A and B are shown apart, each in its own frame.
Chain A
């Protein structure tokens, strides 16, 4: 977990630098001569490693950026699914630990965000099920705010019956589909 922090800071710095460059681009339009002054000997051959010239690091160094991990790394081991009884939005006691672990992760890092996605089984209308799924998502989201997460860190959304976890038309399948999934965003 500790390794993740500087990594994110690094990413943030890049984003800030890009944003800065974007903001100042209009001003720089008039400063074309400044760019031409940089075409000094050596800059051409080391174009891809301009940063390496300034320090002791190897010119072969490549710093990897893996967007598939990014901020999700620290939460990937948390349990992510809360199951519900038929026609119910009550977060059962057996899923309290799931909700609490995710809430604590959010409380520990206020920059972290999460989507709570509510789902239903296949029975009934598309829109009514969407609303039922929303109710489940909001129940989980509310529990998380009571456990220390900020409301602004959580978006409760619903997929209704549109994205079942399990195919099938029996109680075993339905029970697997009545759920809320906690997904880092």
Chain B
């Protein structure tokens, strides 16, 4: 089990294998300001069966905000660290903890975070969790540290969904935000595309071809209850949830052509949103729920446009290049992420949605797809190809810190980042 998760950390292109190496955090580039932090191995974490401290380290490193400073010693949350020693290593912050098995089989996971410069305690927490939730406990510790030191909420305990392909099967999976702990939500012999989390985090909408055509389903992740919400004549695709989880925007061809419609989450109350002779697809709601961004080739090539949910005037948003698709809007509504083709390369771009925003390439890979923002807006997850395989990556919005997520042997694609709140 540990071997499957074995890891290489790759800093600034150079290969470095720290002794604690547990997760593959491939980092290209270095963030402008990174807070140096040390996470000591938790007491008894080996006996708990999850490398809690390594999970916390990898989470913090992937965020791009932290630089991990190595340092050993047997510490836990009740220790009194030698401040001079930790300052000498260059750490500004230090975390240590323990995972103690309780009589009822649960684990009491405790940790403490110190400011080594001031020599003071910043926060201490304890939680009793079931063994299957030890990874979640580790992610929550990373979230607590992230929030305490940056003032913003962490996203490490959130979940992602993605589709894998292998052995003639297509599988929709739900995993931790680091790509680990994947669980199957749907297994099919036919393609599955375009998963989308409901904003309350309970359901996934997706397109399944199980009936030999594209049909939009919603599925309760916890119970497995599913229903076909859009199964009209022709193709039904590209589901996007409204912020209140009550409405889906979808692409339907029931009246010929691919056009945008709004539909109640129960499949009722269908109303047409766009009326064009062109392709209109890939709708996404702006965070305020009043605007929908989408892709249209009404101008001769696929570009990103926006329209009010009541219909009306359509406004073009992207102008650079002849192929801009797959819009995602940051949680604050200010940044557009999308895929832009240049020559034969499809690359992840961002663009400020304010006046005069220019496209900015975040990668130098050539097969990027399906960007999705973390709920705190600080990372984007996307799919790309590396060494002949589809892989998932996260990147900071400046493109400087990228991490490749762990995944099984199957090709993996169409990641979508779930909301806060697990």
Contact = CB atoms under 8 A, between A and B. Distances in A.
A126 interface: yes
Interface stretch (A29-37, A43-51, A66-74, A153-161): A153-161
Contacts of A183: 212
B218 interface: no
B359 interface: no
Interface in A82-129: 115, 117, 123-128
B234 A131 contact: no
Interface in A142-179: 155-160, 162-163
Interface stretch (A1-9, A10-18, A132-140): A132-140
Nearest to B295: A128
Contacts of A156: 234, 253, 256
Tell me whether chain A's interface is mostly helix, strand or loop, or mixed: mixed
B290 interface: no
A159 B192 CA distance: 11
B191 A125 contact: no
A130 B252 CA distance: 11
A157 B237 contact: no
Given A130-B281, A134-B258, A125 B339 contact: yes
B213 interface: yes
Contact of A158 (B214, B295, B341, B370): B214
A126 B369 contact: yes
A126 B346 CA distance: 13
A115 B212 contact: yes
B416 to A, nearest CB: 12
Contacts of A134: 234-235, 253, 257-258
A127 B235 contact: no
A183 B213 CA distance: 12
Contacts of A123: 344, 346
Contacts of A130: 193, 207, 214, 235, 237-238, 251, 258, 281
Chain A contact residues (Cβ within 8 angstroms of B): what range? 20 to 34
Contacts of A163: 191, 209
A97 to B, nearest CB: 25
Nearest to B346: A124
B341 A124 contact: yes
Given A115-B212, A124-B346, A128-B302, A155 B234 contact: yes
Given A132-B279, A135-B258, A127 B209 contact: no
A49 to B, nearest CB: 38
B251 A131 contact: yes
B156 interface: no
B142 interface: no
Contacts of A128: 279, 281-282, 295, 302, 325-326
Nearest to B259: A131
Nearest to B238: A127
Contact of A127 (B212, B326, B346): B326
A135 B213 contact: no
A173 to B, nearest CB: 15
B414 interface: yes
Nearest to A135: B279
Contacts of B258: 130-131, 134-135
Contact of B256 (A124, A126, A138, A159): A138
A110 B326 CA distance: 41
B161 to A, nearest CB: 15
Interface in B186-210: 191, 193-194, 207, 209
B282 A125 contact: yes
A80 to B, nearest CB: 15
Interface in B279-336: 279, 281-282, 295, 302, 323, 325-326
Contacts of B341: 124
B326 A157 contact: no
A90 to B, nearest CB: 16
B251 A127 contact: yes
A60 B281 CA distance: 59
A158 B193 contact: no
Contact of B213 (A124, A127, A155): A155
B326 A158 contact: no
A3 to B, nearest CB: 28
Interface in B234-274: 234-235, 237-238, 251, 253, 256-258
A125 B327 CA distance: 11
Given A125-B282, A134-B258, A135-B258, A162 B191 contact: yes
B325 A125 contact: yes
Given A131-B281, A138-B256, A159 B238 contact: no
Contact of A115 (B207, B209, B213, B279): B213
Contacts of A125: 282, 295, 325-326, 339, 346, 369-370
23 contacts: A115-B212, A115-B213, A123-B346, A124-B325, A124-B341, A125-B282, A125-B369, A126-B370, A127-B295, A128-B282, A128-B325, A128-B326, A130-B235, A130-B251, A131-B235, A134-B234, A134-B253, A135-B257, A135-B279, A138-B253, A155-B213, A159-B209, A163-B209
Closest A-B pairs by Cβ, 5 of them = A162-B191, A131-B258, A157-B213, A131-B279, A125-B325
